[in-house]
Amino acid sequence: MKKKEIPRVVVRRLPIYLRALETLLEGGVECISSQELSRQVGFSAAQIRKDFSTIGEYGRLGMGYPVKELAEALRRRLHVDRVWDVALVGVGDLGHALARYQGFAERGFRIALAFDKDPAKVGAKIGNLVVEDSAQLVERIRERGVKIGMIATPAEAAQTVAERLVQAGVRAILNYAPIHLTVPEGVLVEYLDPVIPLQEMTFYLT
Protein backbone atom coordinates (compact mmCIF):
# COMPACT_ATOMS: atom_id res chain seq x y z
CA MET A 1 0.00 0.00 0.00
CA LYS A 2 1.37 3.39 -0.95
CA LYS A 3 1.88 6.01 1.70
CA LYS A 4 -0.36 8.55 0.08
CA GLU A 5 -3.24 6.13 0.56
CA ILE A 6 -2.92 6.32 4.34
CA PRO A 7 -5.54 8.77 5.57
CA ARG A 8 -4.33 11.87 7.37
CA VAL A 9 -6.19 10.92 10.57
CA VAL A 10 -4.27 7.64 10.68
CA VAL A 11 -0.96 9.41 10.02
CA ARG A 12 -1.71 11.63 13.04
CA ARG A 13 -1.92 8.58 15.27
CA LEU A 14 1.25 6.84 14.05
CA PRO A 15 3.70 8.97 16.09
CA ILE A 16 1.59 8.30 19.19
CA TYR A 17 1.82 4.55 18.60
CA LEU A 18 5.55 4.82 18.05
CA ARG A 19 6.04 6.78 21.27
CA ALA A 20 4.13 4.14 23.25
CA LEU A 21 5.99 1.26 21.60
CA GLU A 22 9.35 2.86 22.36
CA THR A 23 8.39 3.22 26.01
CA LEU A 24 7.29 -0.44 26.06
CA LEU A 25 10.58 -1.48 24.43
CA GLU A 26 12.55 0.35 27.10
CA GLY A 27 10.52 -1.57 29.66
CA GLY A 28 11.49 -4.85 27.99
CA VAL A 29 8.01 -5.67 26.65
CA GLU A 30 8.28 -7.92 23.58
CA CYS A 31 4.66 -8.43 22.54
CA ILE A 32 1.53 -6.40 23.13
CA SER A 33 -2.13 -6.96 22.38
CA SER A 34 -4.28 -4.21 20.90
CA GLN A 35 -6.19 -4.18 24.22
CA GLU A 36 -3.05 -3.49 26.23
CA LEU A 37 -1.77 -0.94 23.72
CA SER A 38 -5.13 0.79 23.92
CA ARG A 39 -4.38 1.77 27.52
CA GLN A 40 -1.02 3.24 26.48
CA VAL A 41 -2.36 5.43 23.69
CA GLY A 42 -5.99 6.17 24.51
CA PHE A 43 -7.46 4.84 21.25
CA SER A 44 -9.73 1.79 21.18
CA ALA A 45 -8.34 -1.67 20.47
CA ALA A 46 -10.51 -1.85 17.35
CA GLN A 47 -9.10 1.47 16.13
CA ILE A 48 -5.57 0.23 16.72
CA ARG A 49 -6.13 -3.02 14.80
CA LYS A 50 -7.68 -1.08 11.95
CA ASP A 51 -4.83 1.45 11.85
CA PHE A 52 -2.16 -1.25 11.87
CA SER A 53 -3.86 -3.21 9.13
CA THR A 54 -4.11 0.02 7.09
CA ILE A 55 -0.34 0.37 7.22
CA GLY A 56 0.08 -3.33 6.53
CA GLU A 57 1.24 -4.41 9.99
CA TYR A 58 -0.52 -7.38 11.51
CA GLY A 59 -0.44 -8.93 14.94
CA ARG A 60 0.07 -12.66 15.38
CA LEU A 61 -2.93 -14.61 16.52
CA GLY A 62 -2.80 -15.07 20.27
CA MET A 63 0.56 -13.29 20.50
CA GLY A 64 -0.34 -9.71 19.78
CA TYR A 65 2.02 -7.33 18.03
CA PRO A 66 5.80 -7.76 18.21
CA VAL A 67 6.86 -4.46 19.82
CA LYS A 68 10.35 -4.14 18.32
CA GLU A 69 9.35 -4.99 14.76
CA LEU A 70 6.30 -2.76 14.88
CA ALA A 71 8.34 0.15 16.27
CA GLU A 72 10.88 -0.33 13.49
CA ALA A 73 8.16 -0.43 10.86
CA LEU A 74 6.65 2.78 12.23
CA ARG A 75 10.04 4.48 12.31
CA ARG A 76 10.48 3.65 8.64
CA ARG A 77 6.96 4.81 7.78
CA LEU A 78 7.48 8.10 9.61
CA HIS A 79 10.98 8.45 8.15
CA VAL A 80 12.55 8.66 11.58
CA ASP A 81 14.83 5.66 10.99
CA ARG A 82 17.27 8.52 10.33
CA VAL A 83 18.01 11.78 12.17
CA TRP A 84 16.64 15.03 10.72
CA ASP A 85 18.50 18.29 11.18
CA VAL A 86 16.26 21.09 12.42
CA ALA A 87 16.85 24.85 12.24
CA LEU A 88 15.56 26.73 15.28
CA VAL A 89 14.70 30.40 14.92
CA GLY A 90 14.29 32.49 18.06
CA VAL A 91 16.34 31.72 21.12
CA GLY A 92 14.32 33.37 23.87
CA ASP A 93 13.17 31.37 26.90
CA LEU A 94 11.26 28.83 24.83
CA GLY A 95 13.85 28.53 22.06
CA HIS A 96 16.51 28.03 24.68
CA ALA A 97 14.48 25.25 26.30
CA LEU A 98 13.99 23.62 22.88
CA ALA A 99 17.69 23.83 22.09
CA ARG A 100 18.48 22.06 25.35
CA TYR A 101 15.67 19.50 25.13
CA GLN A 102 17.10 15.98 25.34
CA GLY A 103 14.02 14.30 23.92
CA PHE A 104 14.60 15.05 20.23
CA ALA A 105 17.70 13.02 19.43
CA GLU A 106 16.43 9.53 20.16
CA ARG A 107 13.20 10.23 18.29
CA GLY A 108 14.67 11.37 14.99
CA PHE A 109 15.54 15.06 15.35
CA ARG A 110 18.56 17.19 16.12
CA ILE A 111 18.66 20.95 16.35
CA ALA A 112 21.56 21.61 14.03
CA LEU A 113 21.26 25.37 13.64
CA ALA A 114 19.91 28.09 15.94
CA PHE A 115 19.29 31.69 14.95
CA ASP A 116 18.39 34.91 16.70
CA LYS A 117 18.39 38.50 15.49
CA ASP A 118 19.41 39.87 18.87
CA PRO A 119 23.15 40.70 18.71
CA ALA A 120 23.36 39.98 22.44
CA LYS A 121 22.38 36.36 21.77
CA VAL A 122 24.39 35.73 18.61
CA GLY A 123 27.52 33.75 19.43
CA ALA A 124 26.11 32.33 22.65
CA LYS A 125 26.62 28.60 23.16
CA ILE A 126 23.81 26.24 24.09
CA GLY A 127 25.36 22.82 24.54
CA ASN A 128 27.17 22.20 21.26
CA LEU A 129 25.13 24.78 19.37
CA VAL A 130 26.29 28.30 18.68
CA VAL A 131 23.51 30.84 18.14
CA GLU A 132 23.93 32.43 14.72
CA ASP A 133 22.71 35.73 13.29
CA SER A 134 19.26 35.49 11.66
CA ALA A 135 20.67 37.56 8.81
CA GLN A 136 22.59 34.44 7.74
CA LEU A 137 19.57 32.15 8.01
CA VAL A 138 18.88 31.49 4.33
CA GLU A 139 22.50 30.97 3.40
CA ARG A 140 23.30 28.72 6.36
CA ILE A 141 20.19 26.54 6.01
CA ARG A 142 20.83 26.07 2.28
CA GLU A 143 24.45 25.20 2.97
CA ARG A 144 23.42 22.52 5.45
CA GLY A 145 20.45 21.29 3.42
CA VAL A 146 18.13 21.53 6.43
CA LYS A 147 14.49 20.71 5.61
CA ILE A 148 12.77 21.34 8.95
CA GLY A 149 12.38 24.66 10.75
CA MET A 150 11.15 25.47 14.22
CA ILE A 151 9.86 28.98 14.90
CA ALA A 152 10.05 30.26 18.47
CA THR A 153 10.02 33.99 17.74
CA PRO A 154 7.40 36.52 18.82
CA ALA A 155 4.22 36.47 16.70
CA GLU A 156 5.14 39.65 14.79
CA ALA A 157 8.29 38.08 13.35
CA ALA A 158 6.95 34.61 12.56
CA GLN A 159 5.49 35.14 9.07
CA THR A 160 8.68 36.75 7.77
CA VAL A 161 10.78 34.01 9.34
CA ALA A 162 8.55 31.36 7.73
CA GLU A 163 9.03 32.96 4.32
CA ARG A 164 12.78 32.99 4.73
CA LEU A 165 12.79 29.37 5.89
CA VAL A 166 10.83 28.38 2.78
CA GLN A 167 13.20 30.43 0.63
CA ALA A 168 16.07 28.48 2.20
CA GLY A 169 14.50 25.16 1.22
CA VAL A 170 12.67 24.23 4.42
CA ARG A 171 9.64 22.04 3.73
CA ALA A 172 8.21 21.50 7.21
CA ILE A 173 7.74 24.09 9.95
CA LEU A 174 6.85 23.61 13.59
CA ASN A 175 5.48 26.96 14.70
CA TYR A 176 5.39 27.95 18.37
CA ALA A 177 4.48 31.58 17.63
CA PRO A 178 0.80 32.35 18.27
CA ILE A 179 -0.08 33.16 14.67
CA HIS A 180 -1.31 31.36 11.56
CA LEU A 181 1.38 31.14 8.88
CA THR A 182 0.77 31.49 5.17
CA VAL A 183 3.14 29.25 3.23
CA PRO A 184 3.27 27.97 -0.35
CA GLU A 185 1.40 24.79 -1.26
CA GLY A 186 3.46 21.75 -0.38
CA VAL A 187 5.13 23.27 2.68
CA LEU A 188 3.89 21.64 5.89
CA VAL A 189 3.15 23.60 9.04
CA GLU A 190 2.20 22.34 12.48
CA TYR A 191 1.30 24.59 15.39
CA LEU A 192 2.14 24.45 19.08
CA ASP A 193 0.54 27.49 20.69
CA PRO A 194 -0.31 26.34 24.25
CA VAL A 195 -3.25 28.73 24.56
CA ILE A 196 -5.16 26.95 21.78
CA PRO A 197 -5.54 23.61 23.62
CA LEU A 198 -6.07 25.46 26.92
CA GLN A 199 -9.03 27.35 25.41
CA GLU A 200 -10.36 24.15 23.85
CA MET A 201 -10.51 22.74 27.36
CA THR A 202 -12.00 25.79 29.07
CA PHE A 203 -14.86 25.61 26.56
CA TYR A 204 -15.89 22.50 28.48
CA LEU A 205 -15.14 23.90 31.95
CA THR A 206 -17.60 25.98 33.89
Q: Work out whether the CA dihedral 49, 53, 55, 60 comes out positive or negative.
A: positive
Question: Nearest approach, Cβ of 113 to its own copies (angstroms)?
Answer: 16
- Nearer to its own copies by Cβ, of 128 and 190: the residue is 190
Q: Which candidate, 152, 158, 132, places its Cα nearest to that of 143?
A: 132
Interface residues for its own copies in 104-143 (CB under 8 A)?
104, 107-109
Q: Are 34 and 48 in contact (CB under 8 A)?
A: yes
Between CA 191 and CA 176 the distance in angstroms is 6
Instruction: Please pick, from the candidates 77, 121, 140, 164, the single residue that binds its own copies as defined by CB under 8 A.
Output: 77
Of 46-54, 73-81, 116-124, 128-136, which part binds its own copies (CB under 8 A)?
73-81
Contacts of 19 (CB under 8 A, 6+ apart): 107
- Nearer to its own copies by Cβ, of 1 and 61: the residue is 1
By CB under 8 A, residue 93 contacts its own copies = yes
Of 16-24, 44-52, 117-125, 136-144, which part binds its own copies (CB under 8 A)?
16-24
Binding mask 39-58 for its own copies (x = CB under 8 A): xxxx----------------
Task: Name the pairing type of β-strands 109-116 and 129-133.
Answer: parallel
Instruction: Please pick, from the candidates 30, 140, 148, 153, the single residue that binds its own copies as defined by CB under 8 A.
Output: 148
Q: How far is CA 52 from the centre of its chain?
A: 21
Q: Which candidate, 114, 69, 124, places its Cα nearest to that of 87?
A: 114
Interface residues for its own copies in 158-197 (CB under 8 A)?
171-172, 174, 178-180, 182, 188, 190-197
